[in-house]
Structure formats: C-alpha cells, structure tokens
Amino acid sequence: MRLLVVLFLILTAALLLASFAAAEPRLPNELGRVMILEYHKVDYPEERWTRTPENFRRDLETLHARGYRLLALNDLLDGRIALPAGTTPVVLTFDDSSPGQFRYLEQAGGLEIDPKSAVGILETFTRERPDFGRAATFFVLPGAASPNRLFNQPAHEGRKLRHLVSRGYEIGNHTLWHANLGKYDEPVVRAQLAEAQVWIQRHVPDYRIRALALPHGVYPKSVEWALRGSAKGTAYHHDAVLMVAGGAAPSPFARAWDPVRLPRIQAIERELAGWLAYFEKHPDERFVSDGDPGTVAIPASRRERLRSGLPGGLKVVER
C-alpha cells in the first residue's frame, strides 16, 4: 500500500512539473520571424483559394491557443509591437474583397453582419477572447466586376468600408480591378493604383492607404511605380508592398526586413500547419514579445541580425 502511495505521489509531481514546463513563458526574441497570413475567399467548399467559415474559425482558435495575438499591418510596419510578454504577433490579410469576407444580412430590424463571413467570425471571436485583439487588412478591388467589387453588395459598400475603419481594421490597395502590373507600362500602373485609392476615399475621405498587395504577386517593371506616384491629379504613397508567398516575414527590427518585399503565408491547411509546426520545432526563430513597446529585446548572440536605424525612441535590450 505504501508503495502505491509513493508511486502516486511521484506521478502527481511529474504531472505538475510537466504542466509547469508547458506553462513556462517564452523568452523574448524580437528578432524572430512573423507570419503574415493571406486569405482569399471565406466560403464553401474548401479549395485552393477558399477557407470555409468553420476552418477560418479553427485557424483563429489554433493561433490563440499557441500564443499568437493579432497585430495590425501598419503597426508591424512602424515597429510598434504592443503585445503581452511571451506572445507572438500574427498579421491577417484578405485579398480581393470577395463576398464571404464581409457580408450584411437583411433582418427585420435592419442589417446585421453575417456571422459566417470573415468579419463576423472575427468580431465574434474578439468578443469571446478579447485578449486575441482585433486587426486585419483588407486589400480591396473597388473597380472589379462582380463578385469581387467591394464585397459584392453595391448598396452597402461605403458602409462596409466605414465600418472596417471605425473598428480598427485596415484597407489596402490591390489595384482597381486586380491588374497584373507586370504587363503594363507606367501610365496604366499608376492609374490602377491612383484610381483604386480615389474609389476607396470616396467612402473614407481621410483614410491613408499605406500598403499594396500585388495581384498575382507580380511587380511592375519598376518598383518605384508601385511605391509612389500620381495619376489624374491623385497622388499615392505606399510604405509596403506585399507578395503572395515567400513564408514568414523577417522581424521589423532585423537586417533582413524589407517592406518593399514582404512575404506572406497563404492560409491553406498545409501551409499554415507547416509553419505552426516549424515554429514549434524552431522556437528560436519565432518572434516573441517582451511586453514593452518601447524596447526591442534580442538574444545577445544574435545582435548582428539587428538592423540599424530602428524606429525612433526604441531601446535595445539584450538577454
């Protein structure tokens, strides 16, 4: 009997130690890589460019459970990482403004956000787990044909853009109608970018569009055309250009950081699971916040990876 008691105590102690080890906070590493996830359709059935509502919800649950927290793309660009210590930023992006990303349902009392649309799922998840945050960037197509023109509800497109901005989501440029910028000369490229901005700012006049997601992942013949310019009296200026693939992005504090060529992870089952597994296997490659937006915490052994010219006021802390 005494032996059984001893064995029980040993087993209990082992379980407690295992639980403590699993809950042990991650060491800060703000030179680690960041996932910028790229979604397209949120609809049925699950396909190459489509995530079902249930699977999108499951993605959010998985990210939250593994210590990821939402960060706005613009905050990543500015190096403004205001997340709890031990958590990892993840950026959500949505391309092409398809209906399942943001849909209104007409009810007797007015309009309600479809709970199975991406925005509806995000809003519900945020209410249930407020520590996850609220952030996403929607790269919209204001001049595209149905069903991709601003979420495919023409009567409500302005209301949708205003709602996104008011709730802290971001709007990005994806050209006027998903033009392959590599096929065109400078005047057409500039017109595609400037006119897309004009259409968006008709509904949100003071909103500044800071990022461009390349249709088909194709750069124009000169990257400068994508970054800044004007057409028909409208000037545009993008701080970042996002690709359609490439894996996890470098830290905004790393030498490898290049906002003109920001890689993304396509949010399909295989890609997302693969990168989550990669960071579990290589935790030293994962960005982990120190909880202080005024400091950049880095492993002393990796100081050579730190870029010069950090955003103003940030202090480097080695561990």
pLDDT in tens, 207-219: 999 999 999 999 9
Examine residue 21 and state whether it is found in any structural domain, yes or no.
no
* Distance of alpha carbon 289 from alpha carbon 140, whole angstroms: 30
Examine residue 20 and state whether it is found in any structural domain, yes or no.
no
Backbone angles phi, psi at 207, to 5 degrees: -80, 130
pTM above 0.85, yes or no: yes
Examine residue 152 and state whether it is found in any structural domain, yes or no.
yes
Examine residue 7 and state whether it is found in any structural domain, yes or no.
no
For the segment 215-244, the average pLDDT, to the nearest whole number, is 98
Examine residue 33 and state whether it is found in any structural domain, yes or no.
yes
* Distance of alpha carbon 170 from alpha carbon 240, whole angstroms: 13
Answer whether 298's CB lies under 8 Å from 30's CB. yes
For the segment 22-35, the average pLDDT, to the nearest whole number, is 85
Q: How many domains does the chain have?
A: 1
Give the model's pLDDT for residue 25. 72
Domain, as residue range, for 115: 27-318
Say which range, 9-18, 135-144, 201-210, has the weakest mean pLDDT: 9-18
For the segment 196-204, the average pLDDT, to the nearest whole number, is 98
pLDDT in tens, 253-272: 999 999 999 999 999 999 99
250: left (phi over 0), alpha (psi -120 to 50) or beta: beta
Answer whether 35's CB lies under 8 Å from 263's CB. no
For the segment 144-162, the average pLDDT, to the nearest whole number, is 98
Structure tokens at 21: 């080890």
Examine residue 67 and state whether it is found in any structural domain, yes or no.
yes
CATH code (residue 235): 3.20.20.370
Greatest alpha-carbon span in the chain? 89
Examine residue 288 and state whether it is found in any structural domain, yes or no.
yes
Examine residue 9 and state whether it is found in any structural domain, yes or no.
no
